[in-house]
Chains A and B, each alone.
Chain A
Amino acid sequence: MDESAPLKILIADDSDSDRLILKTLLKRLGHMVVDAANGHEAVALFQSETPDIVLLDALMPSMDGMEAARHIKKLAGERLVPLIFITSLTEPEDLAGCLEAGGDGFLSKPYNRVMIKAKINAFNRMRLMHQALSDQRDLMHERNRQLLKEQHIARGVFDNVAHTGCLNAPNIRFHASPLSVFSGDVLFASPRPAGGMLVFAGDFTGHGLPAAIGAMPVAESFYGMAGKGFNGADILREINQKLVRILPKDMFCCGAMVEVDFALNQLNIWNGGLPDMWLMRSPTERYSLPSRHLPLGILGPDQFKADMETVRSRPGDRLLLMTDGVLECSDSEGQLFGEQGVRRAIENAGLSRHPFDALMSEIQRFTGQHKFGDDLTLCCLEMVDEAGQAALPDAVELSTLAGPTQWRCDYELQGSTLGEFNPLPLLLHICMEVPGLRRRSGEVYTLLSELYNNALEHGVLQLPSEWKYTPEGFDRYYSERAKRLSRVDGHYIRFSFHHDLTALGGRLRVVCEDSGEGFDFQNHPVLQATEMAQSGPRYGGRGLALIKRLAKTVQFDKKGSRVDVVYEWFF
């Protein structure tokens, strides 16, 4: 803004001669002048001409200067229009009255050219400064409004990608800040195609947009892969690799993955940098599951370890996971809630209280607040009967006749690949091209995974399922499994698919053959039973029972190392 630019000045004086003198004087100084002979006119001109500065005679007929000043200041609102009284008054009370009416200063009569010029310039500087500040403030408001609007939209996009999945399932309780996008915490849960759930909690370093941007690919990988049947370790590897690639060196994501198998009553967990998880069985029996890995986004794919720890559970067990916002809650004196706080809360929970409620109310009591910081995430998962599980959302209904209907496919895994690669997502993907099968993805996945696991664990690896009956055997089973997986040279598992249409729908035939020694299928209790009965607490045979229940026919041959299953679907 130019300080020397000509101003539009409103003058009001009831004396024609005085007005003329002042007007001439101001014009010579280079300004534009509008003039009024009384207060009424002055107010009207102020509205129509929006002058930059107003010079008012204090004493005028038909609305005096004071009254006019009040009106003008009201009309000007936030705008600073310097208002200078021209007066011959000298009494302090009178002068004070002028200021109280909204005047910013005085010019005394008779006029002095030098004084008028100096006053006008001084008030103009004030006006310009005020203008500049208001403009900056308005700009800041506008920018802020725009930023909030953008964040709101970004939040909407984020929510579509990083939706809460099945966090509203009846066996899950959780607290996540509504502003968590911009705090860097994430919490996801997804049902698995073959039953069970995957839960992921994460905490990005830093806050705001960078953290939110990192969270997007994590959400996409998690939900995309979980829905396709990938296991927790596969998803962790993918997330880690993505984060290493996209995040700056000093950013990473502390996280925990939990694979929940309700049918086997088993949890597979991985904790990289989050506080201890707690498995709670009863008020006195509980286990902490500490972080054993580096956070995600630090190690390259060759060094990253996604091995999950297997934990046996019982129906009613509860698993508590949290981000470090819980430990970093502080009381009024700045003391941290810490691990002791968590321990205290769950120890005091007793029988009657849900540990989630106990912990939440202990945090509230400790901090003295009912609202928490943005980066506090807490999730409690209960082991329940599979029957109570949230089902996968129905796949989009498609015409049953679209897609491939008559096809054949052979797929064989060999040697060390058996120990390194999970073929189920790929196999499921092939089958899901058939719309009629897509509507039954859970059943197809269960069928394939049971066939594959039987072929791998009992066929190729020759692990006796009896081991899994006891806690000691259970550990032995899994350590032996890992050991034997490193010695699978020369072994294979072969899947042959054949799909065809029938009058009422379609038929998928799956032949699964492995290089193992087979088993005595003639005398196997599950295969003997005509009426399908669940084999109680026994784990062995559970897979077979499932396959038999889902398939139309199941036939073993080659001493039990080859199984031929026919699965039918209907329009």
Chain B
Amino acid sequence: MPIETHRSHDGRSLTIKIEGRFDFSTHQAFRDAYEHGGRDVSGYVVDLSDATYLDSSALGMLLLLRDHAGGDSADIVIQNCNNDVRKILTISNFEQLFTIR
């Protein structure tokens, strides 16, 4: 599976880990991951340590997650990006919307 999820011990945080290419082909799986992530999840971590590539439709998916998680009040961390992925997030200035670490 290119997408794995797990919840923190207290169940408040959902980590979504993406493997390989994060692009349109992962659309449904990514959506399922956060929509079925559980009701009392208040924060999300998108772990890109094994993601090799990210395209503009992936940026769109991140925006969908942000909307799902409450828009401006969403608590979303994007972590462990490789340089290429980081560069794409930077050009689009997504650090204004997400915590990137």
Contact = CB atoms under 8 A, between A and B. Distances in A.
Contacts of B57: 205-206, 250
Interface string B63-100: 11001000010000000000000000001111011000
Interface string A247-274: 0011110100000000000000000111
B41 interface: no
Interface residues of B, number: 15
A291 B60 contact: no
Contact of B93 (A203, A251, A294): A294
Interface in B30-83: 56-57, 59-61, 63-64, 67, 72
A19 B26 CA distance: 66
Interface residues of A, number: 21
Given A205-B57, A206-B57, A295 B92 contact: yes
Contacts of B63: 249-250, 252, 298
Given A249-B67, A294-B97, A298-B97, A273 B92 contact: yes
A275 interface: yes
A294 B92 CA distance: 5
B60 A273 contact: no
Contacts of B60: 205-206, 249-252
Contacts of A272: 93
A293 B60 CA distance: 16
Contact of A205 (B56, B72, B96): B56
A298 B66 CA distance: 11
Q: Is the interface of A mostly helix, strand, loop or mixed?
A: loop
Nearest to A291: B91
Nearest to B67: A249
Interface in B14-38: none
Nearest to A336: B84
A74 interface: no
Contacts of B97: 294, 298
Q: Which of B56, B61, B64 has the most CB of A within 10 A?
A: B56
Nearest to B57: A205
B92 A205 contact: no
Q: Which of A205, A254, A290, A291 has the most CB of B within 10 A?
A: A205
Contacts of B56: 203, 205-206, 254, 324
Contacts of B72: 303
Contacts of B61: 250
Interface in A289-330: 290-295, 298, 303, 324
A392 B63 CA distance: 40
Interface in A489-537: none
A273 B91 contact: yes
A398 B23 CA distance: 54
Interface in A198-224: 203, 205-206
Contacts of B94: 294
A295 B93 CA distance: 8
A275 B57 CA distance: 17
Contact of A291 (B59, B67, B93): B93
Nearest to A250: B60
Contacts of A324: 56, 91
Contacts of A251: 60
Q: Which of A206, A254, A294, A298 has the most CB of B within 10 A?
A: A298
A274 B59 CA distance: 14
Contacts of B64: 249-250
A250 B56 CA distance: 9
Given A250-B61, A291-B91, A295-B93, 13 more contacts: A205-B57, A205-B59, A206-B56, A206-B57, A250-B57, A251-B60, A252-B60, A252-B63, A273-B92, A274-B91, A292-B93, A294-B94, A298-B97
13 contacts: A205-B56, A205-B57, A206-B57, A249-B60, A250-B60, A251-B60, A254-B56, A273-B93, A291-B93, A295-B92, A295-B93, A298-B63, A324-B56
Nearest first, the 5 A-B pairs at minimum CB distance are A250-B60, A205-B56, A273-B92, A294-B93, A250-B64
